[in-house]
Amino acid sequence: MSEHEKHAWGSLVASALIWAFFTMRLTEGGWIADVSPRHMLWTYVATVVLMIVSHSIIAALLAARRAGGTLKDERDAAIEARADRIEGYLLAVIINVLVVHALADAAFAGHALPRIDLASLPVLVFALLSGLFAGHIVKQAAIIWQYRT
């Protein structure tokens, strides 16, 4: 297993666990809770700090085990580029779904269909940050998948 693939596995696990922490802080009983802006800000800062610390630890552990040599070759760079492209496509889809949903919800007010209230700050923050996590997790999964095929 290459160092790049090991990093992807570590990042995938760490990101999924940190998203679980983020979800735990903003949901209650499976629904997005109506939390205060201060609570959301603290949760956001804690999530960013956890991502920085966890990925720094992963990089440090891999660097300590590395016995010289190049960090990435051409294959690693190509795999990273394809994974970045997949992540970008997913984020574009997520953002467009949120925009279309917000516009349709405003245009067809009072409909009987289930809705996501993007006017609510906790829902908006949860949707956007979950989209970022989804993009990152899909990128790491794409890297792992490309190494396996």
Pairing mode, strands 31-32 and 27-28: antiparallel
Nearest one of 28, 137, 145 to 87, comparing CA atoms: 137
pLDDT of residue 69: 59
Could you read off the pLDDT of 67-104 as tens digits, one per residue? 665 567 888 899 999 999 999 999 999 999 999 988 88
User: What's the rounded Cα separation, in Å, for the pair 108 and 119?
Assistant: 15
pLDDT tens string, the chain, 149 residues long: the values are 888 899 999 999 999 999 999 999 999 988 999 999 999 999 999 999 999 999 999 999 988 887 665 567 888 899 999 999 999 999 999 999 999 988 888 888 777 777 788 889 999 999 999 999 999 999 999 999 999 88
Contact 22, 129 (CB under 8 A): yes
Global pTM?
0.86
Residue 94 in tokens:
């997520």
Nearest one of 100, 111, 129 to 23, comparing CA atoms: 129
